[in-house]
Structure 1
Amino acid sequence: MKYLRTNIHEIETAEELQKIIDENENVMVCCGRMGPMCIPVYEIMEELEEERPEVKFYSMAFDSPESGVIRNAPECRGFMGLPFTMYYKSGKVAKATTSIQNMQQITSNLDQFLS
């Protein structure tokens, strides 16, 4: 099993992801690697964790077989750049993004899809 070791909670299994989505109204999951496109997103999520207690922030290792549930999601079809970021609202995918995102893009998605 590959671990990212970010400062946000990491999901290790597809089953754990489903449980989190089922039990929390607003969830953001960044599925990536420890690379230049992903690290800034993890850092933004870490910063937002304190400001937005209504949203649960998680990371998931892109190369783990368990993250296939995100990599192969219909919402991610055609995605090329890491990370794949999923926004879940009330147990369903509300938004999916690909590649690096900045603070404004992420907060805009949170405001639009998870508020």
Structure 2
Amino acid sequence: MHLDTPLEHIKSKEEHQELLANHEKAVVVCGRMGPMCVPVYGIMDALKDKHSDIAFRDMLFDIRDADVIRNLPEARQFRGLPFTIYYRNGKVVKATSSIQSAKDVKAIIQEVFA
């Protein structure tokens, strides 16, 4: 099972750790192929060429290894998918849930990665 998005997929805890170890700036969208998630994947895909210094990835919410996202303290109160986690130097710098607009995502990128 995988997500049908143009983003690179994270399929394991090891791949998640590798992402954080090898990229100063990273965004992981953890969700499903649903109406709240698909627009966020599209936004991230549209931004990846403008922000080549940021690694944009997705992760299927329902796989066991997605607990690296689901169990984050920053995501503890989240109720809506997707969980979008922004990392800098391996640390969570921002976490959001549910649908986001392109304007929202751009503002967060400016805030946490500028």
Q: What's the TM-score, normalizing by structure 2? A: 0.98
Once the two structures are aligned, what percentage of the paired residues are identical?
A: 44
Which residue of 1 is the match for residue 77 of structure 2? 78
Q: Structure 1 residue 30: deviation in Å?
A: 0.1
AA at the equivalent of 1:18: Q
Structure 2: unaligned runs, 5 residues or longer: none
* Matched-pair contact (CA < 8 Å) for 1:21–1:91: yes
Give the distance between the partners of 2:66 and 2:113, measured in 1 at CA.
Answer: 22
Which residue of 2 is the match for residue 16 of structure 1? 15
Give the distance between the partners of 1:7 and 1:73, measured in 2 at CA.
Answer: 25
AA at the equivalent of 2:24: E
Q: Structure 1 residue 14: deviation in Å?
A: 0.9
Q: How does 1:56-95 map to 2 (within 5 A)?
A: 56-95=55-94
Give the distance between the partners of 2:25 and 2:106, measured in 1 at CA.
Answer: 13
C-alpha RMSD of matched pairs (Å): 0.6
Q: What's the TM-score, normalizing by structure 1? A: 0.97
* Matched-pair contact (CA < 8 Å) for 1:49–1:57: yes
Number of aligned positions between the proteins: 114
Q: Structure 1 residue 114: deviation in Å?
A: 1.7
Q: Structure 1 residue 72: deviation in Å?
A: 0.8
Which residue of 2 is the match for residue 54 of structure 1? 53
Question: 4+ runs of 1 displaced by more than 3 Å?
Answer: none
Q: Structure 1 residue 4: deviation in Å?
A: 0.5
Structure 1: unaligned runs, 5 residues or longer: none
Secondary structure at the aligned position of 1:107 is classed as helix
